[in-house]
Every structure is written in C-alpha cells, then in structure tokens.
Amino acid sequence: MKLGVLTGGGDCPGLNAVLRALVRRGVLELGYEFVGILNGYEGLILPELTMPLGLNEVRGILPKGGTILGTSNKANPFAYPVREGGKLVNKDMSEVVLKRIKALKLDGLVCIGGDGTLTMAHQLSERGVNVVGCPKTIDNDLSGTDQTFGFDAAVNVVAEAIDRLHTTAEAHQRVMVVEIMGRNAGFLTLDGGLAGGADFILIPEAPYSVEVMVARLQELYETKKKFAIVAISEGAFPAGGAQAVAQGADEIPGRGVVRLGGSGKVLADLLAPHLEAEIRVTVLGHLQRGGSPSPSDRVLATMYGSMVLDLVRDGKWDHMVCLRDGKLGFTTLSESRKERHVDLNGDKVRLAKSIGISFGV
C-alpha cells in the first residue's frame, strides 16, 4: 500500500504529531509506504512538490508546530488560480490531480485538514480517488467530530493572552477587547473567554446589543472593578449588523471564502461614544495558530493519525476519523462539510451566564 499524505488549509499545532503517528504505525505495523505531498493540494497540481515520508522524516517532530509538508488554503484543485492574459482566473485542475496520483502510483490519499480540505477530498472521492480524511481546525467547527486537534492549544493561547491583558486593563481602568479567531463558530472564543475570566463573550451565534453591553459596562465601572475584558470572535457582529470582512471571497484567488477581521474595532467604535473609559483592541491573529501542540492535542493528533489507517486497511474510503462522546470512530467525509455551532442553550453558555458573564444579549 502506497499512500500520499497532505496537510491543507490553515496550519495548527498537532499536524506534525498526526504525520508522525501515521507514518510510524503505517511502516512498523502495516508495512505501508508514504509520499509527502507538499503545500496541500498544490503538490498534486504542480510538478516536483513531493518528498519521501518515512521514519527518518518524522523523527523528532511530535512537539513541533506547523507542518513539515507545508500547506495552502488557496490550492483548490477544482478552482485553482492560474494567470491568463495578465489576470488570475480559477480553473478546474482536478484532471491534473488525477493524472498526478496515477503517475505517483498512489493507492490512496490521506487528507488532513478542515472543512475546505475535506470537502475537496470528498469531491476527489467522487472522481474515483481512494481518499480518507483526518479533521483539523482550531475553530472546532466540524460537525463530524466533537473535537479537532489544534483547538486545545489555541484555547491556551487565548486564555494566556486574556490573563496578561487583565493586569494592564486593571492598571489603567480600561476596556480591553480581544479579537479571537473562529470564523462563523464561537467555540474558541467561548472556551478561551471562560478560561481567561472574560467579562463578555461575544460569538457569531448570538448577535450582540450595544445597549445591553453599555449598561453592563456601566454597572461594572460603578463597582470596585473599574475595568473589563471583552472576548469577541472575529465572526461576531451587532444585532441588525453584519460581520466585519477583511477581504472578500473574490479578492483572494483560489480561496473562495471571505476573510473575516475587524470585529474588535467595530465593537470599540460602537462603544466609544457611550463610555468614558478608554477602549483598547488586541487582535490575537495567527498567534493562535503557532507554537507547539498542547499535551492534549498531541494525544488526540496521535490517536487520529494512527486511527486513520484503520480506514485504509478496511477500505473505508471517503470517510474520516472522528471523536464522538469520548470514543474514536469514523464518519463520512460529506458529514465534515456541515458547519457546527455553539449551542446557546448548552451547559457552557448557561453556566457562563450564571456566573455573571455577559453575551451581550
């Protein structure tokens, strides 16, 4: 069995841990051979973008962030940006991918990524490619699994950032707004805000009211606590308003989705006319993606990387590994295309409200 392996979409801690587990079990127990596909699906479109992937290549990579294979969130083989007549146009390069897989003599493809990467994997499966998937995203928004690796490490970054901002917020009696990744799902902001002790947690699932926030902030400043921490998702927006967009989908060739950003500044501008307190915005950005995986993410990534070979061994193509109710399992790749959202009636939101955290509604 000869398998191609790629990591697609945004990087996150734990990708190398998956590669290590995949290769070690594949070589030591199953006798498989692996080819590393570089820069996501781009390695199946452009020539000479592969590397050997054996025991030597994965030695010592368990604690390393990023991915030794490189990645891309713009290399969609069904809408790949190609320059024609001085302009970038999206072209269907799936036929090139099929020929490349055949030329590499691959028996199957292991695709490690989030909703975009796994959607493309499912599309390749529909074209006859043997594909299995491994879910990855710091956003934790894939409906096919209860948790993705990379999420825990990102939550740690958010919590530490809020911890640090607490001291300067208190010293200057400021309102500190912390903008957090997560796109259309608020899991990262919810868990990071809870862990960091934020006063407000604003998520896309619950459009916030400026009036409600102003009233709550005034209450806080009338007490001995004369500062506040607001954890806001990049996808959060005011009731009746819209998400803050940094770049439109048509501005990023090959990406096909908008790039969110600026929700923190939008909130600060809305609050400023109503408050005497100084408001400062901190955008955590790609700090949330970088660094070593947490121990929890190392374990989950190792389990996923090893488990994905059960799918290969059993011929369960067009499936991905998942975690459901604390147990490893598998589900179809088509299931990964459904976006998961925070349950506003769930225990975390309910209990957060019970201890005085406001969701701005």
- How close are the terminal C-alpha atoms of the chain, in Å? 55
Looking at the DSSP bridge assignments, the partners of residue 177 are 230, 281
As given in the structure block, the two tokens for residue 288 are: 């949330």
Using CA atoms, how far apart are residues 227 and 165, in angstroms rounded to an integer? 11
Using CA atoms, how far apart are residues 154 and 130, in angstroms rounded to an integer? 32
As given in the structure block, the two tokens for residue 87 are: 């302009």
**Hey, which bits of the chain come out as E strands?**
2-7, 33-37, 50-52, 80-84, 87-91, 108-113, 131-135, 175-180, 200-202, 228-233, 245-247, 259-260, 279-283, 319-324, 327-332
Q: Which residue has the tokens 């928004």?
A: 141
Which amino acid makes up residue 238?
A: P
CB 238 within 8 Å of CB 207:
yes
**DSSP secondary structure of 227-243:** -EEEEEETT--BTTS--
Using CA atoms, how far apart are residues 36 and 173, in angstroms rounded to an integer? 52
Q: What's the residue count for the chain?
A: 361
Catalytic-residue membership of 347: no
Catalytic residue chosen out of the listed positions 139, 141, 297, 318:
139
What is the Cα gyration radius of the chain?
A: 22
CB 48 within 8 Å of CB 41:
no
As given in the structure block, the two tokens for residue 92 are: 């269907």
Q: Which residues are catalytic?
A: 139
